[in-house]
Structure 1
Amino acid sequence: MGSWAIIGPARAPRGRRWVLPTALLCLYGFLASLRPSEPFLTRYLLGPDKNLTETQVFNEIYPVWTYSYLVLLFPVFLATDYLRYKPVILLQGLSLIVTWFMLLYAQGLLAIQFLEFFYGLVTATEIAYYSYIYSIVDLNLYQKVTSYCRSATLVGYTVGSICGQILVSVANWSLFSLNVLSLTSVSVAFATAWFLPMPQKSLFFHHVLRSQVSREMKLTLPHPPALSLGWDGLGGCAGSRLGPTGSECGRVDILKVLRELWQDFLQCYSSRPMLCWSVWWAFSTCGYFQVINYTQGLWEMVLPSQRFEIYNGGVEAVSTLLGAVAVFAVGYIKVSWATWGEVALALFSLFIAAAVYVMDTVRNIWLCYASYVIFRIVYMLLITIAT
């Protein structure tokens, strides 16, 4: 009777505490994605501001981002867990500022390649943005907060793309001015990130009290399904070892953490659905980045921006807005993904492949635009489900 008296009042404040960090994280994601110059990046690099050639942009600059992201992903993942998310989100905000500052003032091939490295760091640190909230909220809110956080970034990108298209087509703003606006937005996002509360736990380096996990899992779930994948359902690890204080691990043992990481890896990927979704995630993310990286170059070949009016910003806005609607709806869809997940993966992946094929083979700018919109909507929908 006494234990229930203690636990009962504690649940309500915990239930309310998720609102503020979720709102701050969504605000950060919105502002960090509000970059009106991004749909016109290729045109900016090929134009008089940077005066680069197509060969330099497509063969020597854009690949730097792809390979930087690949190299940084795993160390950033470990750093995210060790530093407990918030510092890595701040690093992402700072990297965005450096990227856009250099986009404004850096000159020459080497400087722009260095800029692409920082943008690779920006994309690699997205893991902190999308995993931070799981260390703050309860398991039963995961689906909802995932849709909120991803929708915030998509809405930010939509608003930025619309503003960019209007300012270029109607107000005749220069692309340099659009980059100034983007730098302002990411700077405000960086300031917002400082107000995020610091999580007290993470998956591998900072564990929560096992008795607390068991107690809260029993109160919130009829059975703890997340434990079958090696997770405690609250952002901690099912195999946590208590330190001398009884509340958290003592001094971090890197080798022990890496062994635990390897054990959880083996346990997680013994699950066939987990393996299926993860393999899809890896291949689809690589494909998505490649398409995003070179789509503006394809559009430039079909309809050169130096001679024609282009609508890159409008297309990005439409695709992102419709994607945001789909992502937001996912948070409220009641579907057994264990049953229908693989079927959805197969069907929607075929749609993605068909859209990319049409975009590449049909030399009509409007068909290219339409295929790109379909491609992005379906990808955003599936990646949110996978998350």
Structure 2
Amino acid sequence: MMSTIYPTVLLCVYGFFSSLRPSEPFLTPYLMGPDKNLTETQVTNTIYPVWTYSYLALLFPVFLATDYLCYKPVLVLQACSLVLTYIMLWKSQGILAMQLLEFFFGLATASEVAYYSYIYSVVEPELYQRVTSYCRSVTLFGSAVGSLMGQLLLSLDKVELVHLVIITLASAVVASIAPWFLPMPKRSLFFHKSPGVAEEPKATISSDTENGKNSERRAFMMSRSSEAAGGSSGLIQVLRMLFDDFVQCYRCRPLLAWSVWWALATCGYFHIINYAQVLWENIHSSKEYEIYNGYVETLSTLFGALAALLVGCLPVSWARWGELVLWILSLLMTVCVFVMILQKNIWMCYSSYVVFRAVYMLLITVATYQIAANLSMQRYALVFGVNTFVALLLWTLITVVVVDSAGLGLNVFTQFLIYGYYFAVISVIFLLAGLYRVFSRRTNEEVLTQIHRESSTFSNGDCIGR
């Protein structure tokens, strides 16, 4: 038990303080304010896109490095990247420095896979679900506390934005201490597997929730499987195994449907949260009015967490009605995006943002459960990684064309108009998919009923004839 409690406490401490960022809701006003004196065009079209590009470029190499190095070194790298990011945010000046800052933040973001993967190698199966919930909850709580702290300091004490950056830096420094004291795992998912245990047959996706009750235990046992020559597998073998698993996983229609929504919606979600502050600054300038970005981020985080908790209480047959639910809620997200720009009212904009994030958190939780229900640990990490990579690839393409100054370099209102149409397309896709699912299921049921009737008629006639 102590061997589980110790790393769990350290992970929770690290997750809380690394997510405690009072300056986060006010990053755009800070960059456009007197401290950095950058223009909206420089921030939106030149600086912010660097995070997108670096996140995409580093995701797959960091994913492989995380497994090969057994998590802890990448956690340390993430902690150091966050500290460097906020040192530069505090002290550095100029566009190039801010672009380099965004690169290091992209490295830190890509390294989040280490935080959520480390637990697999140190926690026993019966505690896996509980400890995972602790680690995920504490990061949400840290984000909410940081946003609320920043808003209260700004509204009540009238602190300068640079002081919020210093507090965020101090929190990152505190967080950076924890990873150094984590125990070094002896195994990982792909490169370092525990020898001497026969590998179970690989699990497959099933829409039957009864079959998913023990999936977490099966998943953990899969992570401990063997057949690693000399205690580790070569890079070629790992890549070949990943490709084979990729092909087998995405042949499953339910998994493919949820993965498509995951990738498409996450791409749009990244755009909204990354440029929402720029939109708010245009509607309600921090140079003229008091802003409430911190309250909005706090509420959206808390409502998102509550929405995620509601998933377990919703009496929905996701296997039957999943696509239609995705259509309805994607349509709601579309409305939220259009309300943000068409009303040009800061309170409507704030409210729509909160609803948008809550709906996304609810659906991404459902998608996570539906995808992971009967996947082995290796496939769990692979599918989530591929979905995130596709989302980042789409995000990058849209950024290059729509946002980057090398592309169209559109203003923020036009960008959000495009994002609104983007979510409208997503809703249409899943409306068609849902209607196809309902009608095909009904057709199959009618065919089976007809076959049953004909079989019964034939059987009765046969009996009479005898």
TM-score of Structure 1 vs Structure 2, range by shorter chain = 0.7 to 0.9
Cα distance change of structure 1 residues 26 and 333 upon mapping to structure 2, 3 Å threshold: farther
- Once the two structures are overlaid, the 10-residue window that deviates more, 357-366 or 178-187, is 357-366
Give the alignment partner of residue 109 of structure 1, picking from 95, 100, 124. Answer: 95
Partners of 1:332 and 1:82 lie apart in 2 by 39
- Pairing 1:376–2:357 present: yes
Aligned residue in 1 for 2:429? none
1:307-361 Cα offsets, whole Å, 9 max, x none, are 0111001111111122223335557889775556545433332322221221122
Structure 1 345/151 Cα, relative in aligned 2: closer, same or farther at 3 Å?
farther
Q: Does 1:197 align with 2:183?
A: yes
> How far apart, CA to CA, are the structure 1 residues paired with 2:318 and 2:122?
24
Q: Contact (CA 8 Å) 1:144, 1:332: kept in 2 or not? A: no
Counterpart selection for 1:278 from 259, 264, 276? 259
Aligned length: 360
Contact 2:304 2:362 in 1 (8 A): yes
Equivalent residues in 2 for 1:68-107, closer than 5 Å: 68-107=54-93
Amino acid paired to 2:95: L
Which digits, 9 at most, give the CA deviation of each residue in 1:241-279, with x for residues without a partner?
A: 2435xxx33xx4111111111111112222222222222
- Are the counterparts in 2 of residues 232 and 238 from structure 1 also a CA contact under 8 Å? no
Deviation string for 1:283-302 (max 9, x for gaps)? 22221111111100100111
Aligned equivalent of 1:321: 302
Say if 1:140 and 1:275 are closer, same or farther in 2 by CA, change over 3 A.
farther
* 2:18 is the alignment partner of 1:32: yes
1:62 to 34, 43, 48: 48
Q: Distance in 2 between matches of 1:122 and 1:226?
A: 34
Q: Is the 8 A contact 2:26 2:161 kept in 1?
A: yes
Q: Deviations over 1:96-133 (max 9, x none)?
A: 10110000001111010110111111211112222222
Is 1:41 the equivalent of 2:41? Answer: no
Give the alignment partner of residue 174 of structure 1, picking from 160, 163, 172.
Answer: 160
Q: Counterpart of 2:242?
A: 261
Contact 2:78 2:108 in 1 (8 A): yes
Partners of 2:126 and 2:323 in 1: CA distance = 23
1:228-243 counterparts in 2 under 5 A? 233-234=219-220, 236=222, 240-243=226-229
8 Å contact kept, 2:71–2:115: yes
Using the alignment, how far apart are the partners of 1:339 and 1:122 within structure 2? 39
Matched, 1:134 2:124: no
Aligned-partner SS, 1:233 = helix
Within 5 Å, give how 1:286-297 maps onto structure 2.
Answer: 286-297=267-278
Query: What's the secondary structure of 2:150's corresponding residue?
Result: helix
- Select the structure of larger CA radius of gyration: 2
CA distance in 2, matches of 1:337, 1:200: 38
Shift of 1:134: 2.7
Once residues 22 and 335 of structure 1 are traced to their aligned partners in structure 2, the CA distance between those partners, rounded to angstroms, is: 33
Residue 227 of structure 1 contacts residue 238 of structure 1 at CA under 8 Å; is this kept in 2? no
Asked whether the equivalents of residues 195 and 225 of structure 2 are also in contact (C-alpha less than 8 Å), the reply is no
Deviating more after overlay: 357-366 vs 159-168: 357-366
Structure 1 residues 139 and 116: alpha-carbon distance in aligned structure 2, compared to 1, 3 A threshold? same
Structure 1 match to 2:105: 119
**SS in structure 2 opposite 1:211?**
coil
Q: CA separation in 1, counterparts of 2:295 and 2:168?
A: 17
> Which ranges of structure 1 fall in alignment gaps of 5 or more residues?
1-12, 218-222
Name the CA shift for 1:334/1:97 in 2 (closer, same or farther; >3 Å). Answer: farther
In 2, Cα distance between the equivalents of 1:130 and 1:332?
A: 25
Contact between 1:146 and 1:331, CA under 8 Å: does it hold in 2?
Answer: no
Give 2:449's aligned residue. none
The residue that corresponds to 2:333 in the other structure is 352
Letter in 2 for 1:38: E
Seen in structure 2, the aligned counterparts of structure 1 residues 80 and 339 have a Cα distance that, compared at 3 Å, is: farther
Moved more, 335-344 or 306-315: 335-344
AA aligned to 2:238 is V
**Given that residues 135 and 235 in structure 1 are in contact (C-alpha distance below 8 angstroms), is that contact kept between their aligned partners in structure 2?**
no
1:154 pairs with 2:154: no
From the superposition, tell whether residues 132 and 348 of structure 1 become closer, same or farther in structure 2 (CA, over 3 Å).
farther
Q: In the alignment, which residue of structure 1 is the partner of 2:170?
A: 184
Question: Percent sequence identity over matched residues?
Answer: 57
**Cα distance in 2 for residues equivalent to 1:195 and 1:342:** 45
The one of 267, 284, 290 aligned to 1:309:
290
Task: Name 2:38's counterpart in structure 1.
Answer: 52
Measure, in 2, the Cα distance between the counterparts of 1:126 and 1:163.
24
Q: Which runs of 5+ in 2 are unaligned?
A: 204-209, 369-466
TM-score (norm 2): 0.70
Q: 1:326 to 1:151 in 2, by over 3 A?
A: farther
